[in-house]
Amino acid sequence: MSELAILGGVKTRTEPYPKWPVWDQRDIDAVTEVIKSGRWGGYPYPGPKTAELARKFLEMQGGNFAVVMANGTVTMEVALRAAGVGWGDEVLVPAYTFQATASAPMAAGAIPVIVDIDPNTYCMDAKAAEKAITPKTKAIIPVHLASNMADMDAIMALAEKYNLIVVEDCAHAHGAKWRGMGAGTIGHFGSFSLQSSKTLTTGEGGILLCKAPELAAKAASIIDCGRPHALGGGGEDYSLDYQVGGNFRLSEIAAALALVGIERFPAQARQREAMAAYMDEALSEISGVRVLKRDERHTTRSFYRYVFAIQPSVFGVEHDVLCAALDAEGIDCWVGYEAMHNYTLFQPLKSKLAVPNAFPEYFDFASMDLPEATRACEHEAVWLDEAVFRAGSRGVDDAVTAIKKIQANAKELAEAALKRAP
Ligand SMILES: Cc1ncc(COP(=O)(O)O)c(C=O)c1O
């Protein structure tokens, strides 16, 4: 019988990894307090819990102003709208990210222009970004993907040279730092998701960090149905102008949950960082495995998922086969997103949305050449679940044992995968 669990052998790990989100009596008490107060909603904006969350998040992440809102997609739409980026403007987005990074510009009326990634970090390649800049380019959305950060020095240099707005997509980067500066505090805006899988969560929620008080005030106004907000977004100010907005406020119940999560965050982040370093070392000894390069300017690593690359010809199988085998071994993992131009979740031309219908020439995915993202997404990337690291060194050891076991039996696995292929 095979040694591999996927072929009928014994699993490496039988104990499930710990569940996410974690919660205890404090979460129940926090929600109960809001329920009893009767102040459930986000209006008038910001409510007391929402205002406290903005303050505490700024203490944790750094930055000047925080506007708390419904999720980490509208954060990016609102950032672009607040900065005056809209109809027909081009916004650079990386090819390797969740669809939201590209759909948010369209919601603001702008055109996402997909840029290839740096194979060392899997984040936006600043050189590829510069090549994509045209007179219509108005903004750039680097994503700090999974466990890495985009080269913010190079991106900010582009922003200065070409007068671009920078919205950092930090949905994966709570707590991360670049040269000691919090992710999301370097660009004009930093967009954070608090959705259930994220390392700080309220179930659904988002926070937009803003560098300038007038941008924070505009963002607060846009998410509060257009009501005018004071500079910094700290409350209504009817001496200012109304504008077009919608209701993207967060409920006070959700804000209360995030306030408990934020108390737990520092200890969780320390453990993740230590266990990620432990994993880097263990993986660097396996042939055919490439640990993604951590830029030395990425001074604090705080990750959402731990991503590594394989070289299939050396490792012995493709990444999807490795992930399926790892899963069977009891190791929680994923192959990652598809490259944006092949992404089944990102199909703008099938919609009646204004942007793809007005500018179809930007959405000719078949003609796009994005070799680095394609290689990462179709052959190389392996995303290990954060829970693997929350289970401590035993959790990491089990994952490494399983990877080594799969590699030792890669020939048998590759033959079995070939037989199963259609
Ligand atoms: C990279 C990235 N950007 C943006 C988002 C959107 O966040 P939300 O789900 O809160 O809208 C997500 C995840 O969900 C994400 O992974």
Q: Give pLDDT tens digits for 278-303.
A: 999 999 999 999 999 889 999 999 88
Cα-to-centroid distance, 203 and ligand 1 (Å):
12
Asked if 329 contacts 321 with a C-beta cutoff of 8 angstroms, the reply is: no
Tell whether omega for the bond before 46 is within 30 degrees of 0, i.e. cis: yes
Alpha helix (H) ranges present in 250-409? 252-283, 312-315, 319-328, 354-358, 371-375, 386-390, 392-408
Asked if 179 contacts 299 with a C-beta cutoff of 8 angstroms, the reply is: yes
Q: How far apart are CA 75 and CA 189, in angstroms?
A: 9
- At residue 240, the pLDDT reads 83
Token pair listed for 252: 């006070």
* For residue 238, pLDDT beyond 90: no
Residues within a 6 A CB radius of ligand 1 = 71-73, 97-98, 100-101, 143, 169, 171-172, 193, 195, 206
Widest pairwise Cα distance in the chain: 77
Residue among 69, 148, 189, 193 to mutate when testing ligand 1 (max atoms within 8 A of CB) = 193
Bridge partners (DSSP) of residue 114 are 93
* For residue 232, pLDDT beyond 90: no
Question: Could you identify the atom of ligand 1 that is nearest to the CA of residue 75?
Answer: 11
Cα-to-centroid distance, 419 and ligand 1 (Å):
37
Cα-to-centroid distance, 197 and ligand 1 (Å):
9
Cα-to-centroid distance, 57 and ligand 1 (Å):
18
Question: Could you identify the atom of ligand 1 that is nearest to the CA of residue 76?
Answer: 4
Asked if 187 contacts 166 with a C-beta cutoff of 8 angstroms, the reply is: yes
- At residue 1, the pLDDT reads 79
- The identity of residue 301, as a single letter, is R
The secondary element (H helix, E strand) that includes residue 381 is strand 381-384
Q: Of 204, 193, 137, nearest to 168 (Cα)?
A: 193
- At residue 237, the pLDDT reads 86
- At residue 129, the pLDDT reads 98
Q: How far apart are CA 277 and CA 289, in angstroms?
A: 15
Q: How far apart are CA 113 and CA 257, in angstroms?
A: 36
Cα-to-centroid distance, 191 and ligand 1 (Å):
9
Q: How far apart are CA 69 and CA 54, in angstroms?
A: 10
Cα separations (Å) of 359 from 133, 200, 271, 348? Answer: 17, 37, 46, 11
Asked if 86 contacts 110 with a C-beta cutoff of 8 angstroms, the reply is: yes
Q: How far apart are CA 291 and CA 403, in angstroms?
A: 13
Alpha helix (H) ranges present in 11-47? 25-37
- The identity of residue 289, as a single letter, is V
Cα separations (Å) of 283 from 141, 154, 296, 397? Answer: 31, 29, 19, 10
Bridge partners (DSSP) of residue 229 are 236
- At residue 206, the pLDDT reads 98
Phi, psi of 79 (to 5 degrees): -60, -50
pLDDT tens digits along 338-348? 999 999 999 99
Residue among 69, 73, 124 to mutate when testing ligand 1 (max atoms within 8 A of CB) = 73
Mean pLDDT confidence for 197-211: 98
Q: Which residue lies with its CA nearest to atom 3 of ligand 1?
A: 171
* For residue 333, pLDDT beyond 80: yes
Residue 38: exposed, middle, or buried by beta-carbon count in 10 A (0-12, 13-18, 19+)?
A: exposed
Cα-to-centroid distance, 240 and ligand 1 (Å):
32
Q: Which residue lies with its CA nearest to atom 7 of ligand 1?
A: 72
Mean pLDDT confidence for 9-38: 98
Residue among 122, 195, 199, 250 to mutate when testing ligand 1 (max atoms within 8 A of CB) = 195
Question: Could you identify the atom of ligand 1 that is nearest to the CA of residue 205?
Answer: 10
pLDDT tens digits along 90-119? 999 999 999 999 999 999 999 999 999 999
Q: How far apart are CA 197 and CA 127, in angstroms?
A: 31
Cα-to-centroid distance, 315 and ligand 1 (Å):
31
Query: 422 falls in which pLDDT band (50, 70, 90)?
Result: low
Residue among 93, 98, 101, 167 to mutate when testing ligand 1 (max atoms within 8 A of CB) = 98
Mean pLDDT confidence for 254-265: 98
Q: How far apart are CA 110 and CA 136, in angstroms?
A: 10
Question: Could you identify the atom of ligand 1 that is nearest to the CA of residue 206?
Answer: 10
Q: Of 90, 69, 94, nearest to 192 (Cα)?
A: 69
- At residue 77, the pLDDT reads 98
Share of the chain above pLDDT 90, in %: 94
Q: How far apart are CA 259 and CA 66, in angstroms?
A: 14
Cα-to-centroid distance, 73 and ligand 1 (Å):
6
- At residue 296, the pLDDT reads 95
Helix axes 410-420, 392-408, angle to 10 degrees: 70
Tell whether omega for the bond before 44 is within 30 degrees of 0, i.e. cis: yes
Tokens 């500018």, residue located: 359
Question: Could you identify the atom of ligand 1 that is nearest to the CA of residue 304?
Answer: 16
Question: Could you identify the atom of ligand 1 that is nearest to the CA of residue 145?
Answer: 1
Cα-to-centroid distance, 320 and ligand 1 (Å):
23
Helix axes 319-328, 392-408, angle to 10 degrees: 120
- At residue 236, the pLDDT reads 86
Cα-to-centroid distance, 338 and ligand 1 (Å):
15
Q: How far apart are CA 240 and CA 379, in angstroms?
A: 53
pLDDT tens digits along 121-168? 999 999 999 999 999 999 999 999 999 999 999 999 999 999 999 999
Cα-to-centroid distance, 177 and ligand 1 (Å):
19
Average pLDDT along the chain: 97
Report the 3 state secondary structure along 126-166.
HHHHHHHCCCCEEEECCECCCCCCCCHHHHHHHHHHHCCEE
Asked if 335 contacts 173 with a C-beta cutoff of 8 angstroms, the reply is: no
- The identity of residue 16, as a single letter, is P
